[in-house]
Amino acid sequence: MTKKSTINSILLFIIFYLSHIVAAAKTPAPKPDQIIQIFRHGARGPLVIYDQAWKKEQKGQLTEAGIRQEYILGRVLTNKYSHLIGEQTPINQTYILSDVTPRCIQSAFLQRSGLYNLSGKHLLTKNPEEKGTPPFRDPLVHQLSYVDSDLRSPVALSTSNASNNTRVVQQPLIKQPQIEVVSKGSAAIFKRAHGSQCPNGNLWEKQNSGDEKSKEAWLVFKDTIDNINRHFPKYKQLRTSFGIAVFGDAMLVNVYHNMSMTAFGMDDPEAVRNFTYAYSWFVFHNEYGQEQQKQVSAFPFVDEILNRLEAFKNGADNSKQAALYSAHDYNIYAILAAFGVISEECIMANFLSAVANETLPYPHCYFPFFASNLIFELYNQTSGAYVKLLYNNVPVPLCNSQEACEYDKFVEFARNAVGNHTHETYNEKCGSIGKLKLEKEQAKKSFLGVDDQEEKKVEVEEKSQEKVIVESLIAGAGGRELLVNSTLVSFNLNDIKTNHKNGKYSNFVIIFGWAVLSIIVCLLIKSRTKTVRLHKFLRRQGKKRIGNLNSQDIEVKIH
């Protein structure tokens, strides 16, 4: 082969190679055919007030920072997935479900505002520090002028979905997807794996809080915890992992609102960083430290996600190309725990690396802070369907550390992650008391002679109260008692009044209560007075003039 022919061959090879590179560059990356998002509500006020700069009415309520977070998240989603969600897509292809907690409902509305670019310029340009910024108000959806107008429009709640225990917020004049709000106590997917939802969860958390892992971690974080405790008197110091969880949550609220850390005894940014790791570790260990905790905590939501993926892949009539769930931090934490993305080991490894000023070995391993989200992307390609998972817009490795997991392998992986539970085995594992509770209620009704007609009347009243709560929240009417359990509290008070009228609280109980109260008052009075004990003779002769008394005749005691 001549020198000239060799050069020509090389040139042809280079041209051929470059043409393939150019062709590959021009080929657009595949877009997902379906997305499922689980997002945490935006920044809120503290649940427990440590810093007196917060007002009582701000407890647990969405703040202006939270409003901006959720709106901007909506804008990011519609820019990235404009072919699936937003103004250019069919409304009936988007599904939005919110937990009944007010901040979750508000976050769902605000994110939808971002998706449809309603009043966006105000949220993006207004500086929270600017003079004239609207102050915090409750309910936000009614008061704040720069939120989209549909949040202030009259709202009618549909009862057509009574079978699946949801209420639908209907705005017929506005071309946006409806927002469904799950009714009180009816949606397992938004619940923590403890309490009446999962009674065994309480036992598991108690076991974890005192186990060897917890004791070892306490020693690792000892300097961090001691640094906090030295600012507080003994009765305020952090002594348990549960105390750390409550304190840490309030601390992070201040962090996200760029507020002073003085109330938390924080010296510098490193103290905040270190305590954030301690908080993340103990919260994770208490709630997901055992394999069975990870499984039952994540099962309801993972089951919901898999059913939605399967429905869309099979072309079911009720399938949606975009499904959004307004949830809580523990919902996201549970899924990441079950999938092995977050663990006690990776949190601890990141903490030790941070203290040593080294690169974090597990960049995906961190607590889901305000407005965090998980997005499941389904690519329903003819060459083979596959799934991707993004945590705050960053791909998370699944199925043997692959970012793109074949659909069947992902389903198998996800089912294994939640212990291959069914709803029946989930209830058994949790020690669900639903069936037992129902049997007890039926037995009680039979004993008390409560007829079906009266039971139906109570049920209608309860649904009516629920409707008022959600309507008040969306329309902005009413006071601040828009809490998840407000209906339950209302009925408990009514029950007490009814029971009192029926004589279930007897006069004996009332008399006994007054007697106990009287004894307590007497003891309090006695503890602040001088008592004089006189000789029997002197007591009998009390009216006579008393002369000189020796120590045997009188005893003085000061309390």
Per-residue pLDDT reduced to its tens digit, 297-343: 999 999 999 999 999 999 998 899 999 999 999 999 999 999 999 99
Please say whether the beta carbons of 330 and 452 come within 8 A: no
Average pLDDT by stretches of 10, the chain with 559 residues: 59 55 61 97 95 94 91 92 92 94 92 78 42 32 32 30 45 70 79 88 94 97 95 92 95 92 91 96 97 96 96 93 96 97 97 96 95 96 92 91 91 97 94 52 41 45 45 38 27 33 51 73 59 43 43 34
| DSSP H or E stretch at residue 166 | strand 166-170
d(CA 344, CA 217): 10
Coil, helix or strand at residue 82: coil
Please say whether the beta carbons of 363 and 396 come within 8 A: no
Q: How many helices (H) and strands (E) does the chain have?
A: 20, 12
- What integer pLDDT is reported at residue 88 of this predicted model? 87
Tokens 């409707």 — which residue?
Answer: 467
d(CA 472, CA 139): 9
CA distances from 89 to 113, 236, 322 (A): 15, 54, 10
pTM: 0.70
Pick the CATH number of 34-196+294-426 from 3.40.190.80, 3.40.50.1240, 3.40.50.1000, 3.30.70.360: 3.40.50.1240
Identify which of 133, 184, 140 has the alpha carbon closest to the alpha carbon of residue 42. Answer: 140
Evaluated on CA atoms 98, 103, 107, 110, the torsion sign reads positive
pLDDT tens track for 335-346? 999 999 999 999
- What integer pLDDT is reported at residue 379 of this predicted model? 96
d(CA 30, CA 32): 7
Q: What is the CA radius of gyration of the chain?
A: 31
Instruction: Give me the DSSP letters along 114-142.
Output: HHTT-SHHHHHH--TTSTTPPPP-SSHHH
d(CA 346, CA 394): 17
